[in-house]
Amino acid sequence: MGERPAAKKTKAASPDRRSAAPKAAAKAAAAPSAGSAATPPKTESRTALVRRARRINRELAEVYSYAHPELDFENPFQLLCATVLSAQTTDLRVNQTTPALFAAYPTPEDMAAADPETLEQLIRPTGFFRAKAKSLLGLSAALRDRFGGEVPGRIEDLVSLPGVGRKTANVVLGNAFGVPGITVDTHFGRLVRRWKWTEQQDADRVEAEVGSLFPKSEWTMLSHRVIFHGRRVCHSRKPACGACPIAPLCPSYGEGETDPEKAKKLLKYEMGGQPGQRLKPPPDYPGLPARPLGAE
């Protein structure tokens, strides 16, 4: 196991935002051991857990100051559809698929009236396209018939739509309506368990336990930061511990590659100098836009 890097203080983004993230990772990987910022004790108190969790969130906020939803969307309906399509695939693949979909069916009324087979073919690259087409047709018809063609801004209404669970509802609420929500996807669940914020496996329980560690106002951005970190650094099979800026706060340091140089090669997207997931990333995104379907 390599030397645990010290807690770093990543500066806010430099004028050249495209190079900021890789530099942050390189800095973390090259930092000497702090020694004092050690693995939390097995009997960490609730107060200590809250402090450590919030410190991780602050560190991630510095590293991913540009964190954002990684689905391309221009309105709540597009975000709702894109989130439904994102099940069992990458946001990149969804982003490469939705331009043609939204051009064909810009409103719930248009999509509800779509020919099912045509719709299936348009969303085929995202996988599970028959079930997803059924969800899109069902939720579009429900929006048209029950909500006047508008996406509702309440969780109880959103989860009443076909194919929409709490995760999708929270993505839409947090990013299209500004209502705080925690998005427990596969990355979020894995990371918060690695950090010992919770031991729960059930997404609703994870949402409740992690939510209790933070003020509501942090929930949406916390979700983006954790998911960013899961996609770029703390991967499922090979976490890049040796290039991880929050290694000194992580009880699972050493679960992945600890050699800084080897770990650096595991970094993905803008942290690894590669294109991101969005074809149309926000202006402050420091990496390259994703390429359209077929141009990868």
Which residues are known catalytic residues? 167, 185
CA 102 – CA 110 distance, rounded (Å) = 10
Question: 81 among the known binding-site residues?
Answer: no
Among 202, 255, 261, 284, binds ligand SF4 (CB under 6 A): 255
Please identify, using beta-carbon distances, which residue of 55 and 194 lies nearer to ligand SF4.
194
CA 294 – CA 122 distance, rounded (Å) = 14
Size of the site for ligand SF4 (CB under 6 A): 14
Binding characters for ligand SF4, 15-54, by CB under 6 A (x = yes)? ----------------------------------------
Please identify, using beta-carbon distances, which residue of 27 and 134 lies nearer to ligand SF4.
27
| Cα distance between the two ends of the chain | 35
Q: Verify binding: residue 248, ligand SF4, rule CB under 6 A.
A: no
Q: Verify binding: residue 227, ligand SF4, rule CB under 6 A.
A: no
Smallest gap from Cβ 214 to ligand SF4, in A, equals 17
> Hey, what's the torsion of the CAs at 45, 51, 55, 58, to 10 degrees?
140
Q: Scan residues 173-202 and list those touching ligand SF4 (CB under 6 A).
A: 194
Contact segment (CB under 6 A) with ligand SF4 among 126-134, 163-171, 200-208, 250-258 equals: 250-258
Among 64, 77, 219, 253, binds ligand SF4 (CB under 6 A): 253
CA 215 – CA 152 distance, rounded (Å) = 24
The C-alpha angle with vertex 275 and arms to 269 and 281, in degrees rounded to 5, equals 100
Among 151, 233, 271, 290, binds ligand SF4 (CB under 6 A): 233
Among 158, 244, 267, 271, binds ligand SF4 (CB under 6 A): 244
User: Quick count: other Cβ atoms within 10 Å of Cβ 52?
Assistant: 21
CA distances from 127 to 168, 237, 294 (A): 17, 23, 16
The residue length of the chain stands at: 296
Please identify, using beta-carbon distances, which residue of 62 and 110 lies nearer to ligand SF4.
62
CA 20 – CA 43 distance, rounded (Å) = 37
Among 94, 247, 267, 290, binds ligand SF4 (CB under 6 A): 247
Q: What share of the chain is helix, strand, coil (3-state, %, to 5)?
A: 50, 0, 45
The C-alpha angle with vertex 158 and arms to 157 and 162, in degrees rounded to 5, equals 110
Question: 241 among the known binding-site residues?
Answer: yes
Among 158, 234, 267, 271, binds ligand SF4 (CB under 6 A): 234
**6-32 as b/e, with b when 16 or more CB fall inside 10 Å?**
bbbebeebeeebeebbbbbbebbbebe
Contact segment (CB under 6 A) with ligand SF4 among 98-106, 112-120, 232-240, 276-284 equals: 232-240
Judged by the rule CB under 6 A, the positions of this chain that interact with ligand SF4 are: 194, 233-234, 239-241, 244, 246-247, 250, 252-253, 255-256
Annotated binding site for [4Fe-4S] cluster: 234, 241, 244, 250
